[in-house]
Amino acid sequence: MMDIHAILKSLPHRYPFLLVDRVIELEKGKRIKALKNVTINEPFFVGHFPHRPVMPGVLMLEALAQAAALLSFDTLGVTPDEKTVYYFVGIDGARFKRPVEPGDQLILEVEVDRQKAGIFKFNAKAKVGDELAAEAQLMCTMRRLP
């Protein structure tokens, strides 16, 4: 549905912080399903943890937020530019259920819960196969820079 080239046009993030590789499903204003391929070459594995590499939970939440941003931009019909920033404004109920390791494919599933006054609230889940790795409610908003 959206390859890396389209993602790069929509998200300002770049290596090593771009955490969405492909969008496989997108239902405007409702939901998105995206992928993050986790490899041993990720820079965070050098220190987290050298003896047993595990993807940090906060980066799973960031990957979900990036997928949520793609859903928001599509919902609003906007393409962000250098004057647009998409911010986290809240994370509730974050839970980590399974470690994510090199070789895993993280499936990012985000649904719009509600949208009000420029703030989106999402229900988000990250899975490896059918196993839940992380879940949270995310709140995000888009702002124009002066």
- The yes-or-no answer on residue 5 being catalytic is no
Beta bridge partners of 139: 90, 121
Residues 54 and 99: beta-carbon distance below 8 Å = yes
Residue indicated by tokens 């999402």: 122
Contacts of residue 92, Cβ cutoff 8 Å, sequence gap at least 6: 136, 137, 139
Beta bridge partners of 96: 134
Catalytic residue chosen out of the listed positions 5, 13, 48, 51: 48
Q: Which residues are catalytic?
A: 48
